[in-house]
Structure 1
Amino acid sequence: MAAIIRPATPSDAEAIVAMLRDLARGLGLEDKIRCTPDDLRRHGFGPAPAFHGLVAEQDGAAVGVCLWFASFSTFRGEPGLYIQDLYVAPSQRGSGLGRRLLAAASAAGRGEGATHLRLSVETGNDGAQRFYAAAGLRWQDTERIFLADSRAFSDLADEAGETSA
C-alpha cells in the first residue's frame, strides 16, 4: 500500500524532528540540528505559522516530510514557496514518494497563489541534486546563498538600534 500524504499537525512534531535528524545524520550534519518538537509546535502551527508541512505516513508511521514557507520574488512580482526540508525514509526511497511530496507542496503553494518554488541542496548531496533535476528543477549558477547567524546576525540587528531615529 502506498504512503498517504497529509498536512502536518502539532502531534507530528516528534516524528518530524526525528526525520530531520536522520536527514542531517545522512549528510554528516547532525551536530547542526537544534530544532526541538516544541520549536515546531510553537512556530509551525497556530494563527500565523512560520512554515507549512506535509507528512507521508505508511501503516501509521511517518516515512516522509516536506516543510516549506511562503516567499516572494520581487523580480517576478509573484509569490512562491521555498522548500526548507524534504525527507523520505530510506525504506521508501525510489518509490516516488519524494516526488509526490514535492508535487503536493507545489499544489498547496499554487492554491495560495504561488507560481514557483525554490530550494537549496547541500553541495555534497549528489543524490538530492539528481532527484531535483529529474523532477524538473534547474540549478541556478547565477546565485549564491549567504547566511548571517549567531553573532553576525546579532551584530546586524544591533546596528538597527544605532542607526534608527
Structure 2
Amino acid sequence: MTVPKLAIRPGRIEDADDIHAALLGIGEAVGETHKIASTADDIRRFGFGEQPAFATLVAEISSEFAGMCLYFPIFSSWMGRPGVYIQDLFVAERFRGLKVGEKLLREVARLSRDAGGVYLRLAVDTDNVKAQAFYERLGIAHSRNEQVHKILGDAFFAFAENDDHPEDR
C-alpha cells in the first residue's frame, strides 16, 4: 500500500473557507458548534494582510485539504523567551491516523524554534479526552499548576469601559 504524500504549507487567504470549515469541525467534535460565531470573512480579515492576528499551516494530501493548525506567537516574561500558542488543530476525519496532526504541530514548533521560541502552549477542552491523550502521547503534558481564566462578550466590553478610578489615567 502506498502512503499518500503529505504537504504542509502556510495558509493563504484563499484557504479561509477550508480553515473556517475546520473550526466548525472542531466545534462539532466537541458538541459546541453553537458557540462558533466566527465566519470565513473573519478568518480572511484577521488572519491575512498587514498585521495578521494569527498564522495557519495547511496540510494537504494529494492536493486535498487534510487539516490545519492555527497559531500565534506568545512570550514568557519569566523565561524571557518567545514561544507559540496553538489555538486550533484539526485533521479531516478521512486523514486521521496518518500523523497529520503530529506533523502540523512539529512544523509549528520548528517555525517557533527557528524564530527563537523555546516553548509551545495550547488548551484542550475538558471533555475532549481523545485530544488530551493525543497531546500526552506527543509529550505535550497537561500543566497542573495553571488554570485558564477568561472574560468575553458583553462582560469583556463592560470591563474595558468601566473605570472606577478615572483620575489614575
Aligned amino acid, residue 113 of structure 2: R
Structure 1 runs of 4+ aligned residues shifted over 4 Å read none
Deviation at 1:2, TM superposition (A): 2.4
Give the CA deviation at 1:53.
0.6
Q: In structure 2, list runs of 5 or more residues that go unmatched.
A: none
User: What does residue 86 of structure 1 align with?
Assistant: 89
Alignment partners' CA distance in 1, 2:163 and 2:108: 36
Matched, 1:130 2:133: yes
| 3-state SS of 1:115 partner | coil
* Alignment coverage as a number of residue pairs: 165
Identity over aligned pairs, percent:
39
1:112 is matched with 115
* Aligned equivalents of 2:46, 2:104: Cα separation in 1: 21
Q: Structure 2-normalised TM-score?
A: 0.93
1:38 to 33, 38, 41: 41
Cross-structure match for 1:64: 67
CA RMSD of aligned residues (A): 1.4
What TM-score, normalized by structure 1, do the two folds share?
0.95
User: Which of 143, 148, 159 pairs up with 2:151?
Assistant: 148
CA positional deviation for 1:112: 1.7
